[in-house]
């Protein structure tokens, strides 16, 4: 049976707008993070290792956001009440993002999806996908700061399946690069011409 499409997940949607980021721009960023074919291979393995641990990873990340009122504010109404339907809808796509980061080819469509995720953190598209009544944008500084927790907290999950230390380290470094690359791409709509 084909699984039901994830609400608001438009990766494979024909109408997903192309990214203004070119393949050359991407190559430059990939080189700047030392992203290589070995990382693609390590991410594939990470995808297998993480697949059945997605909910536990999301519990950690959501626990982190939920325990910091100044972060939970971005999933809340302007008056400060958390919007549970919004949190739940985004959580499903966040889980899919883990798999996409590990298994999708980093091609033009992937770049288009990165631009879409970027815009969904800004006033251009935040809240629109889920019809949420929430604050209009996530500040760029928090996107950048989150590279650390999103990277550090994933290591125990990469190590949970008994792989050799060198393999775990390779998966973790590849993950770190992939998250850094994506946040660099997500900074584009915030930075405008300065990007
Ligand atoms: C949406 C990842 C930083 C708040 C999302 C989505 C992903 C994601 C995958 C779902 C995109 C989709 O709709 O398919 C990340 C990663 C981050 C990061 C990897 C940093 C490394 C943050 C921070 C906040 C935040 C710091 C605020 C505390 C949100 C919100 C949405 C969202 C509110 C929903 C946006 C909407 O209305 O569509 N994020 N995020 N994110 N994220 Fe982030």
127-161 pLDDT per residue, tens: 999 999 999 999 999 999 999 999 999 999 999 99
Query: CA-CA distance, 56 to 103, in Å (whole number)?
Result: 19
Q: What is the pLDDT at residue 165?
A: 98
Question: What is the mean predicted confidence (pLDDT) over 168-186?
Answer: 98
| Nearest atom, ligand 1, residue 142 CA | 26
Cβ of 102 closer than 6 Å to ligand 1, yes or no, is no
Is residue 121 within 6 Å of ligand 1 at its C-beta?
yes
Could you identify the residue written with the tokens 């956001």?
Answer: 65
Could you identify the residue written with the tokens 């996107």?
A: 143
Q: How far is CA 64 from the centre of its chain?
A: 15
pLDDT band at residue 2 under the 50/70/90 scheme: low
pLDDT for 5: 83
Looking from the CA of residue 121, the nearest atom of ligand 1 is 35
Whether 144 is covered by a domain: the verdict is yes
Is 114 within the bounds of a domain? yes
CA distances in angstroms from 73 to 67, 80, 82, 94, 153, listed in the order given: 11, 6, 7, 18, 22
Is there a domain that residue 170 lies in? Answer: yes
Q: With a 6 A CB cut-off, is 187 part of the ligand 1 pocket?
A: no
31 contact partners, CB below 8 Å, separation of at least 6: none
Whole-angstrom distance, CA of residue 27 vs CA of residue 164: 30
What are the structure tokens assigned to 29, written together? 């960023």
The DSSP letter of residue 4 is P
Helices (H), 73-120: 84-103, 108-120
In the predicted model, is pLDDT for residue 1 greater than 80? no
Q: Is 61 exposed, middle or buried (0-12, 13-18, 19+ CB in 10 A)?
A: middle
Task: Compute the distance from residue 154 Cα to the ligand 1 centre, in Å.
Answer: 17
Distance CA 162, CA 159 (A): 6
In a domain, 81, yes or no: yes
Task: Show the tokens assigned to 191.
Answer: 């930075």
Q: State pLDDT tens for residues 93-134.
A: 999 999 999 999 999 999 999 999 999 999 999 999 999 999
**Total tally of structural domains belonging to the chain:** 1
* DSSP designation for 79: T
Atom number of ligand 1 nearest to Cα 150: 21
Residue 124 CA to ligand 1 centre (angstroms): 14
Q: What is the CATH number of the domain that holds 99?
A: 1.10.490.10
The answer to whether position 14 is within a domain reads no
pLDDT at 154: 98
Mutate to test the pocket of ligand 1, among 146, 147, 190 (most ligand atoms within 8 A of CB): 146
Q: For the beta carbon of residue 142, count every other beta carbon within 10 angstroms.
A: 12
- pLDDT over 70, % of the chain: 98
28 in any annotated domain: yes
In this structure, which residue's CA is closest to atom 1 in ligand 1? Answer: 90
* 38 in any annotated domain: yes
pLDDT for 4 equals 76
DSSP letter assigned to residue 82: B
Query: Residue 148 is part of which domain span?
Result: 23-194
């Amino acid at each position: 049976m084909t699984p039901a499409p994830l609400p608001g997940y438009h990766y494979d949607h024909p109408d997903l707008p192309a990214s203004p980021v070119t393949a050359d721009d991407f190559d430059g960023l990939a080189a700047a993070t030392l992203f290589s074919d070995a990382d693609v291979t390590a991410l594939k393995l990470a995808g297998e290792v993480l697949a059945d641990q997605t909910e536990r990873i999301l519990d950690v990340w959501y626990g982190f956001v939920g325990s910091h009122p100044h972060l939970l504010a971005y999933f809340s109404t302007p008056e400060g009440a958390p919007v549970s339907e919004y949190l739940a809808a985004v959580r499903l796509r966040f889980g899919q993002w883990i798999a996409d980061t590990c298994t999708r080819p980093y091609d033009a469509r992937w770049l288009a999806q990165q631009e879409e995720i970027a815009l969904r953190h800004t006033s251009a598209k935040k809240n629109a996908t889920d019809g949420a009544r929430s604050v209009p944008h996530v500040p760029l500084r928090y996107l950048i700061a989150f590279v650390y927790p999103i990277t550090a907290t994933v290591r125990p999950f990469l190590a949970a399946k008994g792989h050799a230390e060198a393999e775990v380290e390779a998966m973790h470094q590849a993950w770190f690069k992939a998250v850094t690359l994506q946040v660099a791409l997500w900074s584009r709509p915030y930075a405008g011409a300065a990007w």
